[in-house]
Structure 1
Amino acid sequence: MSVKIPRGTQDILPGTVEKWQYVEQIAKEVCRNYQYKEIRTPIFEHTELFQRSVGDTTDIVQKEMYTFKDRGDRSLTLRPEGTAAVVRSFVENKMFGDPNQPTKLFYNGPMFRYERPQSGRYRQFVQFGIEAIGSEDPAIDAEVLALVMDIYEAAGLKQIKLVVNSLGDVESRKAHREALVQHFQPRIGEFCGDCQSRLEKNPLRILDCKKDRDHELMATAPSILDYLNDYSRTYFEKVQKYLTALNIDFVVDPTLVRGLDYYNHTAFEVMSEAEGFGAITTLCGGGRYNGLVSQLGGPDVPGIGFAFSIERLIAAIEAEGIDWPFESSLDCYLVSLGEEAKDYTVKLLYDLRRAGISAERDYQDRKMKAQFKAADRLHARFVAILGEDELQVNKINVKDMQTGEQQEVALDQLVDALKTMMEAK
Structure 2
Amino acid sequence: MGTDTVMERSDGDQRRREQRGWYFYDWACSVYSTTVLTVFLGPYLTEIAESAAGADGFVHPLGIPVRAGSFFPYAVSASLIVALIAMPLAGAAADRTGRKKPLLAAAAYLGAAATTGMFFLDGDRYLLGGLLLVIANASFAVAMALYNAYLPQIATPEERDAVSARGWAFGYTSGALVLVLNLVLYLSHDSFGVSEGTAVRICLASAGVWWGVFALIPLTRLRDHPRDPAELREPAASGGWRQLRATLRDMRRHPLTLAFLLAYLVYNDGVQTVISQASVYGSKELDLDQSTLIVAVLLVQVLAVGGALGMGRIARVYGAKRTILGSLVVWTLILAAGYFLPAGAPVWFFVLASGIGLVLGGTQALSRSLFSHLVPRGKEAEYFSAYEMSDRGISWLGPLIFGLTYQATGSYRSAIISLVAFFLLGFLLLVRVPVRRAVEAAGNPVPERI
Structure with larger Rg: 1
Greater RCO structure (CA 8 Å; 6+ sep): 2
- Give TM-score, length-normalised by structure 2: 0.23
Structure richer in strand, relative to its length: 1
TM-score (norm 1): 0.24
Structure number with the higher helix fraction is 2
